C-alpha cells in the first residue's frame, strides 16, 4: 500500500526556523518530524510518495530512495495550489487505495491502522475550541457529510486531523476551490461524500505543529505517539 505525505510548504508561521530548512524537517528529540511520521506508519505501507517543494533537497538528501525498508518517490509541487492540487500531482503513480497525510503533524500508529480498515475515511480529533480548525460534520452512522472551516461560536467539535484514506474514485471529482488559487482535499471529499460512504475515525492522539510553541510542546508529548 502507498502513503502520500504532503510536504511542499515552507511553514511561514514557524518564523526564522524555516529559513534554514523546510518545516517537516524541523527536529523533535533529534529526528525530523517526517521521520517520526514514517515510524508511525502501519507495516502495510510499503511505498511513500513525498510531495515536495520548498527546500526539497533537505528531504531528498535525508530520506533518499529507500528509508526504513520502504521505497520513497518524490513529486515536485512548484505551484502551491492547495492540498487537493498537491494530491492530483501523484495521480499517475497511485494505485487502488492509499493513505494521505500532512507533513507536519504527529499521529499515533493505532489511529492510522484504524483508517486502513476502510476504503474511504477521514481522521478527526475532538477539540474544545474548533475556531482554528476545519470541523468534520458527520451523520448518525459516522459518515462524513461536510467540512466547515474555522467555525465561530462552536464549542467542542471534531477537528479535521489531516489524514485521509482514499481510493482512485477521488480523482473523478472536480477539485473544490478554497480561494487564493488553492483547492482543498477535504472539501473535495465532502463533494465525494454525496456518492460514497466516508467513515469518520476518531483519533486518540494528534499533535498539530503550526508554530514554534507547538514544536517545543512536541518534545514533551512525543512519548504518547510511540
Cell 524537517 sits at which residue? Answer: 25
- Domains of the chain by residue range: 2-225
In whole angstroms, what is the distance from residue 145 CA to residue 122 CA? 11
Burial of 141 (0-12, 13-18, 19+ CB in 10 A): exposed
Has residue 226 got a pLDDT over 70?
A: no
Written out in words, the top-level CATH class of the domain with range 2-225 is: alpha beta
Contact indicator for 214, 28 with CB cutoff of 8 Å: no
Q: How many CB atoms neighbour CB 65 within 10 A?
A: 9
- pLDDT tens-digit readout, 61-114: 999 999 999 999 999 999 999 999 999 999 999 999 999 999 999 999 999 999
0.85 exceeded by pTM: yes
- pLDDT tens-digit readout, 155-170: 899 999 999 999 999 9
In whole angstroms, what is the distance from residue 72 CA to residue 50 CA? 7
Contact indicator for 34, 24 with CB cutoff of 8 Å: yes
Amino acid at each position: 500500500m502507498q502513503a502520500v505525505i504532503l510536504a511542499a510548504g515552507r511553514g511561514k508561521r514557524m518564523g526564522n526556523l524555516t529559513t534554514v530548512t523546510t518545516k517537516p524537517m524541523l527536529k523533535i528529540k533529534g529526528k525530523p518530524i517526517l521521520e517520526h511520521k514514517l515510524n508511525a506508519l502501519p507495516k502495510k505501507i510499503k511505498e511513500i510518495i513525498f510531495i515536495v517543494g520548498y527546500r526539497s533537497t533537505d528531504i531528498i538528501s535525508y530520506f533518499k530512495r529507500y528509508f526504513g525498508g520502504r521505497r520513497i518517490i518524490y513529486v515536485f509541487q512548484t505551484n502551491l495550489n492547495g492540498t487537493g492540487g498537491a494530491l492530483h500531482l501523484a495521480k499517475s503513480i497511485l494505485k487502488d487505495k492509499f493513505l494521505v497525510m500532512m507533513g507536519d503533524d504527529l499521529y499515533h500508529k493505532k489511529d492510522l491502522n484504524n483508517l486502513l480498515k476502510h476504503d474511504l475515511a477521514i481522521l478527526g480529533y475532538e477539540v474544545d475550541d474548533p475556531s482554528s480548525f476545519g470541523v468534520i460534520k458527520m451523520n448518525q452512522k459516522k459518515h462524513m457529510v461536510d467540512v466547515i472551516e474555522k467555525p465561530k461560536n462552536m464549542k467542542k467539535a471534531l477537528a479535521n486531523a489531516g489524514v485521509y484514506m482514499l481510493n482512485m474514485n477521488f480523482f473523478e471529482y472536480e477539485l473544490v476551490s478554497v480561494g487564493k488559487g488553492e483547492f482543498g482535499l477535504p472539501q473535495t471529499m465532502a463533494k465525494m461524500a454525496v456518492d460514497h460512504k466516508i467513515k469518520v475515525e476518531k483519533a486518540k492522539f494528534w499533535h498539530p505543529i503550526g508554530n514554534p510553541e507547538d514544536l517545543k510542546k512536541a518534545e514533551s508529548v512525543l512519548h504518547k505517539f510511540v
